[in-house]
Structure 1
Amino acid sequence: MAAAAHQEWQLSAEQRDDTVARVAQNLASLTFFAGGSVPDSEALRLATEFEKKAYTVARVEARTTTGTRPHAETFAAYTRKLASLLLEASKARSAANGAADASGGVLQPAAAPADASQVDLTGVREFLVAETAQEALASMLAEGAAVSRIKLSTKSFGAEAAGVAADAIANCAASLTHADLSDVIAGRPEAEALDALRILSNALAQARLKVLDLSDNALGEKGVRACAAALSNQAGLERLAFQNVGCSIAACRAIAELLTDASSLAALHLHNNMSDNEGAAAIAGVLARAPALQDFRMTSSRVGPEGGIALAQGLSAGRRLVRLDLSGNTMTADAAPGLAQALRGQQGLRALYLNDAGLGDEGVAAIAEALAEGSIELEELELAFNDLTEDGAASLAAALWRRVLPALQELDLCQNQIRRAGALAVAKAVAAAKGLRLLALDENEISDAGVDHLKAVLKAAGQLGTLGSLEDNDADAADEAEGEEDEEDDDGEAADTADAEESDLAAELARATKIA
């Protein structure tokens, strides 16, 4: 990952971007299994900030008074800084969410006993053998050990090391409630990896788990079935994750088959898989058996319209959703009516993420209407990259004005085409939201004049500080588009199209308030 031997240490833009993505995913996972939550947009923002800081530290440490340090040492400094920032943020976010949960916030997982101990092997990647596994898990193997939480990530277990870990787990089975087995078979041949998973899962079957994370393991259907004992014998399982595991259609069907009791399931996370519509339908079967579900994530999993409709039907079986994330699946407007119907019954919904879902104006309008009709007081709403235009922004603004506004804290509409009129309508609708922290409107073809107008509206409402970056907004494209519309004006006069659209949207908002 470093440059040539005599050159100054550096990483390519692609390597840095990949690091940011991994850090964001790890932050979300760490926070999730510490009993908190972090929105994807916030995780990405923090990951970008952390990577910049770590890269600066590494570049500084790369230089010495006599030349440059070995690249391995510099890279180690880079990863140490990243790990430090990541852990600090995870602890801070989890503590904040814990405080919110105690006061009736988003999701309150079962609290660990005050004297609970934890074993966390996260750190330098290492292939464990029996001897090194005994050293790493010594506290669990000790007589009278009462470990409640384990995280074995970044340590690769073969069959022998897994046998030691199984003994450690069995020794703490009476107290163990949280098991993070993400990224524990890296680099192992398939047969050995499957054996290790089977050994670990058989041991976990003896515990009464509340949390199980199997993310970042190349599972596929074979891997999922290797974990059968841990999945089939956990009646009290509350939180389960299969992120980045190669969760194919067959693997999703295996999960649905093996997870025989989902009655206690409060959180189910799947991300970056290849589940497709049929896999989503299988997962929908799990949702239909999970009436207590509060937090569902199935992102970047190749789910189309049919899969989106199936998931919506599954989600309708419960009424306790607090957080829903289906981003990165091209479900299109065809899935919107089903999703809208599922949302109407979720009075406690506080966070909805539908980025890059291909909803378009029609789909966003259906979702917005459902939120308004259900009087759902969202705190976070993300609809970035959905081919949304001024018309869709009008529908959304009306919904925000009517019902959703009071609790709104974050609204992300980046990478659409809502332009000046749509941006102003939305800004005016949310300007009175006292708890608003972020209004993200970048990459929306807003002209420079539109940006100035937008800032003026928010400034007048005392909300200018909530406006996110507009650095990537293509003002030139906006000016060109507005010019083309002026040329097509039926009267043949140079009308200010943006202002006309803004007036139409204002009228829409006025009608909405009368309806409300």
Structure 2
Amino acid sequence: MASFIMELSGGRELVNEKRAEELISAITVSNPTHIRLSNKSFDNGAATKIAQYLESLEGVTVADVSDIIAGRPEDEALRTLNIICSSLKKFDLVEVNLSDNALGAKGVEECKTVLLGDNIQRLYVCNNGLSAEAAELLAKILIREASVVGAVEGSDSKKTPPLELLHFYNNMAGDGGARAIANIVVACPQLVDFRFSATRSTVAGCESIAAAIATLPNLRRLD
């Protein structure tokens, strides 16, 4: 199937509600399969306008929402993340890019709706300032209780998206975060591309990652 990419025109900028309306009116792709909001910093009014536009679409499979809250106060940034990610939950996404947003654990929680997608194959969480707590929350969201008809009540059955690519670069995960990411890796045996570098992990954390990597039968790219 052909890919149609929607991206907002112009360079890096702070975007308010009025500017968001101008950017939306300039979009020429009618049925995008990929949406790219990067390098724009949205206030809450702008995020609401963008969300309304996204909710009007059908068939989006790739969402690049990297670098969309730069320079925003924490409360405003968190609300913007929630507004935009919530508008994406209707789509059957196979790729999500949350990189270059100062997330922390609070930001991960606000992005939960998009991270709960059942068919995410490629996930980018790079340069997000993710601590051990944030990495643990990410793992909890991705590795969740399976809601399957016929599942035995009280069983420890888990459900994870079919991740083939996981990039977790330039975060503050430390050893606790490394163990959390290792749990994700073990839960996603179909991974072929894994990036885990510049994460402030010591030997203990890296040993957890190494053990997890050893379980991957199809891994082709490792950083």
Q: TM-score scaled by structure 2? A: 0.88
Write the mapping of 1:241-320 to structure 2, written as runs, cut at 5 A: 241-260=124-143, 261-320=159-218
Structure 1 residue aligned with 2:104, among 220, 236, 245?
220
Q: Which has more radius of gyration?
A: 1
* Cα distance, 1:123 vs structure 2: 4.5
Tell me if structure 2 keeps the 8 A contact 1:124–1:154. yes
1:205 aligns with 2:92: no
Give the whole-Å Cα distance in 2 for the aligned partners of 1:242 and 1:122: 24
* Cα distance, 1:130 vs structure 2: 1.7
In structure 2, the residue matched to 1:167 is 52
* Cα distance, 1:270 vs structure 2: 1.2
In structure 2, the residue matched to 1:153 is 38
User: Identity of aligned pairs, percent?
Assistant: 37
Equivalenced residues, count: 208
1:194 aligns with 2:92: no
Amino acid at match of 1:231: L
Give the whole-Å Cα distance in 2 for the aligned partners of 1:204 and 1:141: 20
Give the whole-Å Cα distance in 1 for the aligned partners of 2:24 and 2:33: 13
Structure 2 CA distance for partners of 1:304 and 1:122, relative to 1, 3 Å: farther
Which segments of 5 or more consecutive residues in structure 1 lack a partner in the other structure? 1-112, 326-516
* Cα distance, 1:288 vs structure 2: 1.0
In structure 1, the residue matched to 2:153 is none
Q: Deviations over 1:149-187 (max 9, x none)?
A: 111111111111111111111111x31011111110011
In structure 2, the residue matched to 1:138 is 25
Give the whole-Å Cα distance in 1 for the aligned partners of 2:7 and 2:121: 21
Write the mapping of 1:32-43 to structure 2, written as runs, cut at 5 A: none
Structure 2 CA distance for partners of 1:183 and 1:122, relative to 1, 3 Å: farther
Structure 2 CA distance for partners of 1:133 and 1:149, relative to 1, 3 Å: same
Structure 2 CA distance for partners of 1:184 and 1:306, relative to 1, 3 Å: same
Amino acid at match of 2:169: H
Give the whole-Å Cα distance in 2 for the aligned partners of 1:237 and 1:278: 24
Q: Report the 3-state secondary structure (helix = DSSP H, G, I; strand = E; otherwise coil) of the residue aligned with 1:297.
A: strand
Tell me if structure 2 keeps the 8 A contact 1:276–1:302. yes
Give the whole-Å Cα distance in 2 for the aligned partners of 1:153 and 1:247: 19
In structure 2, the residue matched to 1:360 is none
Write the mapping of 1:51-130 to structure 2, written as runs, cut at 5 A: 113-114=1-2, 116-121=3-8, 123-130=10-17
Structure 2 CA distance for partners of 1:123 and 1:245, relative to 1, 3 Å: farther
Tell me if structure 1 keeps the 8 A contact 2:142–2:161. no
In structure 1, the residue matched to 2:156 is none
Tell me if structure 2 keeps the 8 A contact 1:123–1:154. no
* Cα distance, 1:223 vs structure 2: 0.7
Amino acid at match of 1:152: L
In structure 2, the residue matched to 1:348 is none
In structure 2, the residue matched to 1:425 is none
Structure 2 CA distance for partners of 1:123 and 1:138, relative to 1, 3 Å: closer
Q: TM-score scaled by structure 1? A: 0.39
Give the whole-Å Cα distance in 1 for the aligned partners of 2:174 and 2:168: 12
Q: Deviations over 1:280-327 (max 9, x none)?
A: 0001111111011000001111111111111122223321101011xx
Tell me if structure 1 keeps the 8 A contact 2:9–2:23. no
Amino acid at match of 1:306: A
Structure 1 residue aligned with 2:65, among 163, 176, 181?
181
Give the whole-Å Cα distance in 2 for the aligned partners of 1:237 and 1:272: 22
Write the mapping of 1:116-515 to structure 2, written as runs, cut at 5 A: 116-121=3-8, 123-138=10-25, 145-172=30-57, 174-232=58-116, 234-260=117-143, 261-325=159-223
Which segments of 5 or more consecutive residues in structure 2 lack a partner in the other structure? 144-158
* Cα distance, 1:122 vs structure 2: 6.5
* Structure with bigger RCO (C-alpha 8 Å, 6+ apart): 2
* Cα distance, 1:138 vs structure 2: 3.1
Tell me if structure 1 keeps the 8 A contact 2:34–2:61. yes
Structure 2 CA distance for partners of 1:220 and 1:122, relative to 1, 3 Å: farther
Runs ≥4 residues deviating over 4 A: 139-142
* Cα distance, 1:121 vs structure 2: 2.5
Amino acid at match of 2:103: L
Amino acid at match of 1:322: R
* Cα distance, 1:140 vs structure 2: 6.3
Tell me if structure 1 keeps the 8 A contact 2:9–2:26. no
* Cα distance, 1:139 vs structure 2: 6.4
Tell me if structure 2 keeps the 8 A contact 1:122–1:151. no
Structure 2 CA distance for partners of 1:257 and 1:275, relative to 1, 3 Å: same
User: Which structure shows the bigger proportion of residues in strand conformation?
Assistant: 2
In structure 1, the residue matched to 2:148 is none
The CA RMSD over aligned residues, in Å, is 1.7
